[in-house]
Structure 1
């Protein structure tokens, strides 16, 4: 074994951290897990040395690493307290999540030092947020001129199985085409749980397969050899810092325990496991340091100190209470206490003063112009706001909403992306965590499906980190039918976003509301899905005068379109126009919800006290559509006010047809709405 380089690492510190990591694993496996004081355990044995060497090289205040469930040694190197680590494993109060998330799913705001971005439970979900942080570094460095980011980098850690995921390839594409200062740190232990690396990438070596990948430096070597591994990590980190370009470092490591504590490793032979233990990096570190760098007595002292520290941490962690169940539902949304990291508010930004009163001037404009004008104004007053997605740049978006914005604000602020919705939303998460305001666009609602994991992880972030982190953004997406339909471009389906805790959902039906809701979203402190209904983009019924640059609307406050006494219609988005046409000469109260998360149940229930009849109309399919939620609330809270059953009118339970006549048959029409009104009034 080559002699270790004393000029690059403090090897006493390395040894202390490695011994500390081993003691934590030992305690969990032999004491806490058998005593059922922890519920999940993922040993880092074999991976630990390489992670510690990496963590000690992350020294810039704006460095960030996004790890995965086996990344605790990295966190220890970044300064995480073992008491917090064990407290999280035991699901006790405080710590990373206040008992809300798996103990191995870490986060570490670390003010003034490198950040450990909130980890995710899904394999490969860590890559695109890391690339978003890297892009934010370059934006703050090159566009905002902040020299504090000149040497900052992002790191994404993953096992060998993660290289098969869409998140990995999306991040790789973004990092190499931009290019961006991102280190891909791949810990190859030969198995994705029980599945060999050869199932993840041909030949089982991602470094070999990416050797000719343009724009990417590729390094690979033994992650258990202290001298070689430290040299590789030093070279990789310094390359990314100096050249501002991505690097992939694959370290070959053994996984000395099962995938988790419950994994018996029956898929490995005894000979294979023996070979793995022969490569134990702790043993190799001992051989490399003792007696040349550390005396045997010094090593033994480090061991005793690690045991004592872990024992003390265990006692302190066990003394922590279980979090108050009454607080379990806090921090799903911003509640007034600003998160430690993420978004503009966490860095002291305060939104400009707004008004709920429109200043009506000028001619009526359509939804496209209203949305574009709002984006334009907010871009002009907020240099941390970025708009991006497929075709939003020179083309101006497939619906022309971003037309001219790139020309006005430049490609760094309004830009096109690669064709990966996971990459669009995931990078937005990383940008938001780094203090920017990302405004990503999904070209059509149906195309959001590949981004589902990133959307869900973003929404749950504030809650699962107990308000340590949040990723406020505005996710714009056109939805619903146009001149024709089809199963791919005409889907509405707002429900998954409403069902994803942490997201607010805006559904404007006219230009004035679009301005007010979009401005509130852009100046808020929560992630927002902003629907742009295709049928309304140029509809004359949706046109309104521009309500002013200060106009903003509260979420959860419905608009009473028309008063009436015989029946209440509850609707939103594209169906508002049709309902207005249907209620002519009828005494019907029409309520436009405007937002679905939160939705204004008080306005609906108050209206029903007067009309005693309820019809819910929406563009989405009926079964399990959001109308079912409204109907359930009405049935539970207004049952004694009702003079007729709650009724729903929605699209047939089928994909939206392409041919216009077939599409018209599937959707609620003016005639069908009118007929349902008459039936309910006559009940």
Structure 2
């Protein structure tokens, strides 16, 4: 192994050595503790330390790094207190996730680190969002994120690199090519030889380094970072290395040929760098011993402190509360509290556009992202004219990369910005599903980082658009703690709930029914206002039965009530997570006969959840069995006659008559 010291002073070379030695000594100690049962799981980075250490020490300390399992050197390089790091691994409350997540699945803004989730690839998109925030704020910074060769097969890898290249984001994508994805060798994962072959295809520079040579990694990242700060663009950096232990300790290494261990043992990053420093006279045996003893003492002290911390005592209130960032809405902005103002008749779609525009004016940190939303104005023209007012930096056309764009939204949140992601159709959210339910929804619970992201979802059937442009998929998200889900039925709520979604620092999934866009209108206040999230509203009042619904269901129920002259409460939920339990209780106790209506399919829909809650909490108030009316448990068909049969509207009358006759 050849080391080129260039113009680096002895102190800098020794700083690298101490940075390299620390994670190795910690690992050796952790492997002992693992065998003793004091650590439950361990992902070893032995043999790969030079990558994380060299890259971390080459950056400014306020530049973000997004590491993976084998990047202990990132955490030690950013001077995370060892007692907190050890407490994290033990599941103690003084760790960074309060015992809620393990190993390196955490972030800390204090140290400018964003930890991984187990799905690996989503990290890369979040890095892009962090870099985008720096570009928008004209900060000359770079972001570094890591991927293994296995994780680079995920779609998130492609999406993140593509978006970073299109937007020229200053991200260094470091690919740790260690030859295996768990037990699967590279030849069974991809057909190319090196990852640097991929760079030109994305329109980005690609560089390869010896990942076991800490000085080469350090010098390369330092040079690239200095350049990217002045000339923002992404770079793919491939680090060739080898994993000397199992993917995690329980998996072993029997699948790896012994000769590979023998070959790579000769390339040990710590041993080789230490030997070179000794040969060069930069490091003495005395100093070598001194460094080791200092680090070992720091490890023992960190363990002593962490061991003294008790395991978490469960607190029901704290667990539930920490799913969301605490937030008190400004009640002065809410119409419900007397915020009256002049109003103009607006269509549903115009009310949404109005709320979006006024939110952009109110929050200069808000960035809009979505396919065709810029000059074209979006397929439904909600953002038409926005580029002229706000510019293309804040109103951003995106590639067809739903996962990367949602991940970028979280990255923007980490840097204090707000983000809106428009799904062209709610059906397409499946391509960004993981980022929403595992990253946005869980980040505050896991490490206190809120996701200030609104995902707009044009939803619903009625236009004979078939199975992939008509789905009602709100139940996918009402089952996910950490999200808020809203679904307006009228123009005034459409604007107010959207403004409230941007005011709220938590992730909000905002459903807007496509068939309401241009079919209904009503007086909408001209100024900025909010509609409270989590509060239902009575769309119609009556004393015979209660229909609990939302979205298009409000209009179906209202139409039937008028046709039959029904004396019925029609409760518009407006928010599906958290839904308004007290409003449901009031109408149930008032009328005793309840029908729950939604456009979503019957099985697993939110109607079943509400029905169960009523049965558990309001059973004595019921005068008849709870009725549910929903769409068929099939995919949505294309032909208008089949779609009509699929939707619940024609079954609603029969259900109401049955309920009244009970």
Cα shift at 1:297: 1.2
CA distance in 2, matches of 1:375, 1:404: 12
User: Does 2:221 correspond to 1:258?
Assistant: no
CA distance in 2, matches of 1:211, 1:379: 36
Asked if structure 2 preserves the Cα contact closer than 8 Å seen for 1:290 and 1:296, the reply is yes
User: Does 2:166 correspond to 1:202?
Assistant: no
User: Does 2:35 correspond to 1:34?
Assistant: yes
Cα pair distance change 1:235/1:194, threshold 3 Å: same
SS at match of 1:644: coil
CA distance in 2, matches of 1:336, 1:380: 21
CA distance in 2, matches of 1:3, 1:661: 74
Residue matched to 2:107: 107
SS at match of 2:442: helix
- Aligned match of 2:545 in 567, 575, 578? 567
- Aligned match of 1:458 in 431, 435, 440? 440
SS at match of 2:321: coil
User: Does 2:528 correspond to 1:550?
Assistant: yes
User: Does 2:362 correspond to 1:369?
Assistant: no
Residue matched to 2:208: 220
Residue matched to 1:16: 18
Cα shift at 1:200: 3.2
- Aligned match of 2:493 in 504, 508, 513? 513
Residue matched to 2:618: 638
Question: Mapping of 1:496-511 within 5 angstroms?
Answer: 496-511=476-491
- Aligned match of 1:120 in 117, 123, 138? 117
Which runs of 5 or more structure 2 residues have no equivalent in the other structure?
none
Cα pair distance change 1:362/1:501, threshold 3 Å: closer
Residue matched to 1:129: 126
CA distance in 1, matches of 2:13, 2:95: 29
Cα pair distance change 1:424/1:189, threshold 3 Å: same
CA distance in 1, matches of 2:178, 2:84: 27
CA distance in 1, matches of 2:619, 2:82: 54
User: Does 2:247 correspond to 1:246?
Assistant: no
| Bigger mean CA offset, 128-137 vs 351-360 | 351-360
Asked if structure 1 preserves the Cα contact closer than 8 Å seen for 2:91 and 2:98, the reply is yes
Cα shift at 1:304: 1.2
CA RMSD after TM alignment: 1.8
Residue matched to 1:296: 285
User: Does 2:429 correspond to 1:448?
Assistant: yes
Residue matched to 1:54: 55
Tell me the alpha carbon deviations over residues 597-620 of structure 1, each in whole angstroms, 9 at most, x when there is no partner: 110111111111121111100000
Which runs of 5 or more structure 1 residues have no equivalent in the other structure?
142-148, 338-349
Tell me the alpha carbon deviations over residues 488-532 of structure 1, each in whole angstroms, 9 at most, x when there is no partner: 000011011112221101100000001111111111111101111
CA distance in 1, matches of 2:458, 2:29: 52
Question: Mapping of 1:293-442 within 5 angstroms?
Answer: 293-326=282-315, 327-336=318-327, 354-356=333-335, 357=338, 359=340, 361-442=342-423
SS at match of 1:45: coil
Cα shift at 1:353: 5.3
Asked if structure 2 preserves the Cα contact closer than 8 Å seen for 1:42 and 1:104, the reply is no
Question: Mapping of 1:229-240 within 5 angstroms?
Answer: 229-240=217-228
Asked if structure 2 preserves the Cα contact closer than 8 Å seen for 1:361 and 1:545, the reply is no
| Bigger mean CA offset, 361-370 vs 615-624 | 361-370
CA distance in 1, matches of 2:159, 2:432: 11
SS at match of 2:83: helix
Tell me the alpha carbon deviations over residues 222-273 of structure 1, each in whole angstroms, 9 at most, x when there is no partner: 1112333333222222232232111111111121111001121111122112
Question: Mapping of 1:460-609 within 5 angstroms?
Answer: 460-465=442-447, 467=448, 469-540=449-520, 543-584=521-562, 585-609=565-589
SS at match of 1:203: coil
CA distance in 1, matches of 2:214, 2:55: 12
Structure 1 stretches of 4+ with a deviation exceeding 6 A read none
Query: TM-score under structure 2 normalisation?
Result: 0.95
Residue matched to 1:654: 634
CA distance in 2, matches of 1:119, 1:381: 33
Q: Between Structure 1 and Structure 2, how many residues are aligned? A: 652
Cα shift at 1:6: 5.6
Residue matched to 1:69: 69
CA distance in 2, matches of 1:295, 1:205: 38
SS at match of 1:33: helix
Tell me the alpha carbon deviations over residues 353-380 of structure 1, each in whole angstroms, 9 at most, x when there is no partner: 5132453534421111001111111212
Cα shift at 1:220: 0.3
Residue matched to 1:281: 269
Asked if structure 2 preserves the Cα contact closer than 8 Å seen for 1:220 and 1:249, the reply is yes
Asked if structure 2 preserves the Cα contact closer than 8 Å seen for 1:506 and 1:517, the reply is yes
SS at match of 2:468: coil
Asked if structure 2 preserves the Cα contact closer than 8 Å seen for 1:360 and 1:548, the reply is yes
CA distance in 1, matches of 2:332, 2:233: 40
Asked if structure 2 preserves the Cα contact closer than 8 Å seen for 1:94 and 1:323, the reply is no
Residue matched to 1:345: none
Asked if structure 2 preserves the Cα contact closer than 8 Å seen for 1:133 and 1:427, the reply is yes
